Amino acid sequence: MGTIETIINEKIATLQFFHPSSNSFPSRLLQELTNEIISLSKNENVSIIVLKSQGTGAFCAGASFDELLSVSNFEEGSLFFSGFANVINAMRKCPKLIIGRIHGKAVGGGVGLAAACDYSFATLQSEIKLSEIAIGIGPFVIEPAVSRKVGKIAMSEMTLTPTLWKTSKWAFEKGLYSELFETIEALDLRLEEYTKEVSSYNNDALFEMKKVLWEGTNHWDTLLYERAAISGRLVLSDFTKNALNKFKK
């Protein structure tokens, strides 16, 4: 039902997640990812973290549809969406730079993960979509992270066209992706070069710079959970239940 794995090599921690349903996230896997980021934050042998997913298909399909369908009350719904709040806050507070390896498509929460990375590499296949409005909810929890990268106008454009994919070039031009490559092979060559270089820098300087880059986000400790409560309420609607069943079929 999914895995979280970490490999540490020469101060670079490669944190990989996997789920057979297009690398989507049930709540258990979200909690494991959060715990691992917190653990790596305290590891003095780690300078930077590379966040990636397994395979050559989707980078991340967002929330687990099966688990969304199983939500039966407000508390369960709020708790589930708080899982994404936990991950984003852990990434935000992590004293290490987090580098995203976005090799394929990202949907919903997957876009939020990409946005919460401090620097990101993507391929031409790394299209993005925020489909939440189409199923009766919205990208409330991830919105602050995504808007921080692409701006409110681009965020609204994605949110209000929930059935349309945005190209990786669009995402790159809007600032979601830092560097863009034609192939995964080219991405990985540049990623290896970049991480080796950055891991040689002064850790204290990198930490201080990360604090500067995330200035003005301390209120996310409250905001993201307020947003999770909105999604937790909306996911109980008949509209959302019917839409999720249609998508699953």
Gyration radius of the chain over CA positions: 17
Q: 125 lies in a domain?
A: yes
User: What is the average pLDDT across 235-239?
Assistant: 92
Give the chain's end-to-end CA distance (angstroms, integer).
20
User: What is the average pLDDT across 44-53?
Assistant: 97
- Phi then psi for residue 182, to 5 deg, are -75, -35
Alpha-carbon distance 25 to 19, whole Å?
Answer: 7
Non-local (6+) Cβ contacts of 193 within 8 A are none
Q: 103 lies in a domain?
A: yes
User: What is the average pLDDT across 77-81?
Assistant: 94
Alpha-carbon distance 144 to 155, whole Å?
Answer: 10
* Six token digits for residue 193: 């070069």
User: What is the average pLDDT across 29-42?
Assistant: 98
pLDDT at 248 over 90: no
* Six token digits for residue 74: 């407000």
pLDDT at 52: 98
Alpha-carbon distance 80 to 60, whole Å?
Answer: 17
pLDDT at 114 over 90: yes
To the nearest whole percent, how much of the chain has pLDDT over 90?
92
114 touches 106 (CB < 8 A): yes
Q: 209 lies in a domain?
A: no
Q: 222 lies in a domain?
A: no
Non-local (6+) Cβ contacts of 81 within 8 A are 63, 140, 141, 227, 228, 229, 231, 232, 235
pLDDT at 1: 82
Considering only 30-34, 49-53, 70-74, 240-244, which range has the smallest mean pLDDT?
Answer: 240-244
Q: 175 lies in a domain?
A: yes
Supply the CATH number for residue 100's domain: 3.90.226.10
pLDDT at 244 over 90: no
Alpha-carbon distance 162 to 131, whole Å?
Answer: 4
User: What is the average pLDDT across 71-76?
Assistant: 93
pLDDT at 243 over 90: no
3-state SS, one letter per residue, for 90-105: HHHHCCCEEEEEECCC
pLDDT at 245: 82
Q: What digits encode the pLDDT tens for the residues 161-185?
A: 999 999 999 999 999 999 999 999 9
Q: How many domains in the chain? A: 1
pLDDT at 69: 86
Range of the domain at 47: 3-185
65 touches 29 (CB < 8 A): no
pLDDT at 37: 98
Q: What digits encode the pLDDT tens for the residues 196-221?
A: 999 999 999 999 999 999 999 999 99
Give the pTM.
0.96
Q: 218 lies in a domain?
A: no
Q: 147 lies in a domain?
A: yes
Q: 234 lies in a domain?
A: no
To the nearest whole percent, how much of the chain has pLDDT over 70?
100
Place of tokens 């709020």: 78
